[in-house]
Chain A
Amino acid sequence: MKISKMIYLFFIPGLLLYSIFFIYPTISALFYSFTDWDGLSDAYQFVGTGNYERALTGDTIFRKTVGNNLKFMLVVVILQTIVALAFALIVLKNTKTNLFLRALYFFPTILSSVSVAFIWSFIYDPSLGILNQILELLGLDVLRQNWLGNADIAIYSLAITQVWFHAGQMLIIFVAGLQAIPEDLYEVAKIEGASKWQTFRKVTWPLLAPSATIVIAYTTIQSFKAFDLVFAMTGGGPNNSTQIIATYIFDVAFRSYNFGYASSISVLFMIIIAAITFLQFKALRSDRISY
């Protein structure tokens, strides 16, 4: 059936805003990444691949930043996926208690990152903080820490906060995925005398792969974007030990006024995210079994 050409009008407002405030800045990030623009003056010079060479070979902070981001990502992805899946399996049935628990576990997701940052700054506070007090109560004084002030562990403290923040959301995705598995497959497994572990390995896990892919991919991207949390809790410190790529871009651009260099890091950031997402989808897809 022929559709009136007027249909194109439906795209105009959205496409206009999307082009001006999204596509154009994204493309100009690529353009500025080859310049030494400071973001303020009208003049700038092309520096070829200078910014990229600096980022990849000369800049030790950038290298540290990527490392921090990977540490943060690994802890969050592994811990959050395990917690979310384990608890999803327990609160799977739609009983009253389980519905309540799911709603409770999900709750932190609706808070703002700044609120979560304040809450956890208080928990981690070396003198006032609940965490050190609990450790003391348990007689584990040796474990007392300056959780955000110690450069060796601060990034992991942030990762735990991120898990607290978002595990509930991933749990719900797993619940949705698990509830979609047909009940009769479990019946068959039971009749055939499969053990609990065998049932999980042969029935649940393969059919869960699509949700697992989503959770892991989403968590990965989320952990790269944890800008707000890091910015509000540590500002990247101490000594850049919690600086992640996103906060480093902000620092380079808005504290050192090096827009050109910040743009080149932005482009590298995008490439890293695209590569990781691609690899994950590939890895998890090949693992899938079809019924």
Chain B
Amino acid sequence: MLFRKFSLIIYALLILIPLVMVALTSLKTLQETFRDPLGLPDDGFQWSNYSAIFQEQTMAGYFMNSSIVTLFSVVLTLFFASMIAFGITRMNNWIGNLLFGLFTLGMMVPAQVNMVPLYSLMLDLDLTNSLLGLILVNIAVTLPIAVFILTGFMKTLPRELFEASTIDGAGNWQIYMKIALPLSLPSLSATAIFLFVMHWNDLLYPLLFITDNAYKTLPLALLEFQGEYSTNYPMLFTGVILASAPMVIAYVFLQRFFVAGMTAGAVKG
């Protein structure tokens, strides 16, 4: 039993120490970090890195871009995917199954496979350096997993519900809005969190399509701090903390949903 407890503590420390180190370093000067990388700051916590990063970087702009891209990507993916899931469930025939197969096949294709032609397509459509471009690609790329999870859930809803509404004269749109969507709320929220984490943290597509500072999202901006600040870890970690803050706060309050959502993506994926 002692060994078990010991292992649990070691693993906990392996997670905690790096996180504490990040917070601590962001509150130290560069000199202090070089002199004593792991020690406490000499003259109390320094908030100067935080004010410096807001002065030197257009942090507010990066936050705005990340928020816009994430919000629209998540909401629209959920909207389109739930419509497809509803269509597949409602049709319940070979055409529906075929469409389901077409979407789920997409889960097997890693994003890096089509990044080359996708890049030239975006150039042709004039969708580089555009938040709209990022949103459209995000939706297309996460539709497969969202369709997969939502269809799996909607198929468990009793068919009689839909059929009874049809007899009552409700159209498909009404059934979708008034019955399918509200009943799918648990699965929608799990998928929403999965998508939220994925889009907020995405690096690949901003890296491919965005070169203009005005459209950079947080992960891309953060990556480029590396070029600017090199091994100035206090500044890099200040960036890490700011970029992760919304996700961490959401995690603390919605922990159970996060765990459910992030594993729904894997379990059913």
Contacts and interface: CB of A to CB of B under 8 A. Distances in A.
Q: Size class of B's contact patch?
A: 35 or more
Contact of B240 (A102, A119, A218, A228): A119
B244 A164 contact: no
A249 interface: yes
Given A21-B118, A118-B236, A111 B201 contact: yes
Contacts of A249: 112, 115-116
B106 A112 contact: no
A14 B81 contact: yes
B38 A133 contact: yes
Given A13-B83, A101-B8, A115-B244, A130 B219 contact: no
Contact of B251 (A107, A176, A253): A107
A263 B267 contact: no
Contacts of B94: none
A225 B4 contact: no
A73 interface: no
A259 B266 contact: no
B139 A17 contact: yes
B95 to A, nearest CB: 9
Contacts of B223: 114, 231-232
Q: Quick one: which of B141, B237, B243, B266 has the most chain A CB within 10 A?
A: B266
Given A22-B106, A104-B15, A125-B231, A232 B226 contact: yes
Interface in B190-246: 197, 200-201, 203-204, 207-208, 218-219, 222-223, 226, 231, 233, 236-237, 239-240, 243-244
A273 B109 CA distance: 8
A149 interface: no
Contacts, number: 260
B106 A128 contact: no
A125 to B, nearest CB: 7
A93 B81 CA distance: 35
B110 A246 contact: yes
Contacts of B99: 11, 15
B143 A115 contact: no
Interface stretch (A23-31, A189-197, A201-209, A282-290): A23-31
B182 interface: no
A25 B121 contact: yes
Contacts of B4: 90
Contacts of A254: 119, 208
Interface in A242-291: 245-246, 249-250, 253-254, 259, 262-263, 266-267, 269-270, 273-274, 277
B80 A114 contact: no
B141 A228 contact: no
Interface residues of A, number: 88
A225 B114 CA distance: 13
B16 A104 contact: yes
Given A17-B140, A101-B12, A112-B244, A253 B115 contact: yes
B61 interface: no
Contact of B143 (A17, A232, A273): A17
Given A20-B140, A115-B240, A123 B18 contact: yes
Interface of A: 1, 3-4, 6-8, 10-11, 13-15, 17-18, 20-26, 28-29, 32, 39, 83, 86-87, 90-91, 101-115, 118-120, 122-123, 125, 128-130, 133, 164, 168-170, 172-173, 176, 211, 214-215, 218, 221, 224-225, 227-228, 231-232, 245-246, 249-250, 253-254, 259, 262-263, 266-267, 269-270, 273-274, 277
Given A107-B251, A125-B231, 10 more contacts: A6-B171, A32-B117, A39-B116, A101-B12, A104-B15, A112-B218, A119-B237, A221-B110, A266-B114, A273-B108
